[in-house]
């Protein structure tokens, strides 16, 4: 993810915090839940209390205002659409995104067993322009001037705004001794559907009898909690149905327990895919050598293990 230079009243760190949540700056209030779930009395009070009625939206159109939406994933496309629907013809909404097509992460695990391909997960954004009048701008944001209310793009052009929506999605850190180049060419994580998903599919298709598929799960919170466990099941099922005997799917989880649909996945790991999936929780210190294809980690009792 490219660094964005931000000037004005908000610091870069504050803006990045806003960006991570896809917050509409200046348009909607931000509701924050404190860590009050541990307080049983407070929680019960919340359950018994009737919610306050939500005031109706002001149906009057907005005239002469400009909204810039940075990022055209699910969040960015949705907010751009409804701002145009609710804002009236006088509200100009510009959507900034470098990619021509949107590739959905939903169902992308099915690319790994050949049930789908990446092309089948790609969608155009033409309806936003043709049906809702959203202005689309191809490019990446490199700077935000909060004082002047200007967004600067990589080609040097600027977009003025009255309100700004930041919905850039996630970026990926180097982890486990791997680099971004390793992710793209040798050890794909495929957390974002696209070329890495195709590469991972090719690697799985090339597996032989007795081969081992190792996957890691980062400590929560992370995007789509059930996704990694679903992926383990998809890969295990594919290896079995294609007759690859003796193969293993080893899941190294940095969390102490399965993070979503625990009973479902525990049943799948020990029952349906028992003997294929090996689930290892509470691991730390994972290191991956993409050249030798050796993975080392520290288990729950402090011992160093290698695969």
Tell me the pLDDT tens digit for each residue of 118-165. 999 999 999 999 999 999 999 999 999 999 999 999 999 999 999 999
Residues 156 and 213 in one domain: no
- Is there a contact between 72 and 101 (Cβ–Cβ < 8 Å)? no
Dmax (CA) for the chain in angstroms is: 66
Residues 147 and 292 in one domain: no
Q: Which two tokens stand for residue 30?
A: 């931000």
d(CA 112, CA 198): 8
Structural domain range at position 26: 5-98+139-166
Of 44-48, 180-184, 216-220, 275-279, the one with minimum mean pLDDT is 44-48
- Is there a contact between 140 and 131 (Cβ–Cβ < 8 Å)? no
- Is there a contact between 159 and 151 (Cβ–Cβ < 8 Å)? yes
pLDDT tens digits, one per residue of 105-122:
999 999 999 999 999 999
Percent of the chain with pLDDT over 90: 76
d(CA 199, CA 187): 9
CATH of the domain at 186: 3.50.50.60
Of 26-40, 137-151, 219-233, 273-287, the one with minimum mean pLDDT is 26-40
Q: Is 287 exposed, middle or buried (0-12, 13-18, 19+ CB in 10 A)?
A: middle
For the chain, first and last CA: distance in Å? 31
What pLDDT sits at residue 34? Answer: 29
**What's the domain count of the chain?**
2
pLDDT tens digits, one per residue of 25-71:
333 322 322 233 333 333 333 334 455 554 544 555 566 799 999 99
Alpha helices by DSSP H, listed for 242-290, are: 262-267
What pLDDT sits at residue 233? Answer: 98
Residues 238 and 154 in one domain: no
Residues 13 and 150 in one domain: yes
pTM here is 0.75
């Amino acid at each position: 993810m490219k660094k964005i230079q931000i000037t004005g009243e908000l610091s870069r760190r504050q803006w990045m915090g806003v960006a991570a949540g896809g917050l509409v700056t200046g348009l909607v209030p931000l509701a924050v839940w404190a860590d009050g779930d541990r307080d049983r009395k407070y929680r019960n009070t919340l359950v018994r209390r009737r919610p306050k009625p939500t005031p109706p939206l002001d149906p009057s159109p907005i005239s002469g205002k400009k909204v810039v939406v940075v990022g055209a994933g699910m969040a960015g496309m949705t907010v751009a659409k409804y701002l145009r629907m609710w804002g009236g013809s006088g509200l100009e909404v510009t959507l900034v995104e470098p990619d021509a097509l949107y590739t959905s992460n939903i169902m992308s695990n099915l690319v790994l067993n050949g049930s789908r391909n990446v092309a089948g997960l790609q969608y155009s954004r033409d309806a936003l322009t043709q049906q809702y009048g959203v202005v689309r701008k191809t490019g990446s944001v490199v700077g935000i001037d909060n004082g002047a209310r200007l967004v600067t793009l990589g080609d040097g052009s600027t977009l003025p705004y009255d309100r700004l929506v930041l919905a850039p999605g996630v970026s990926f850190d180097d982890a486990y001794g791997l680099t971004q180049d390793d992710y793209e060419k040798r050890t794909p994580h495929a957390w974002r559907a696209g070329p890495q998903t195709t590469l991972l599919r090719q690697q799985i298709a090339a597996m032989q009898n007795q081969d081992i598929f190792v996957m890691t799960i980062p400590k929560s919170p992370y995007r789509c909690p059930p996704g990694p466990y679903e992926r383990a099941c998809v890969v295990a099922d594919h290896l079995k149905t294609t007759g690859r005997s003796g193969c293993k799917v080893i899941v190294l989880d940095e969390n102490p327990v399965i993070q979503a649909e625990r009973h479902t996945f525990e049943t799948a790991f020990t029952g349906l895919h028992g003997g294929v999936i090996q689930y290892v929780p509470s691991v730390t210190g994972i290191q991956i050598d993409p050249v030798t294809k050796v993975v080392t980690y520290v288990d729950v009792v402090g011992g160093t293990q290698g695969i």
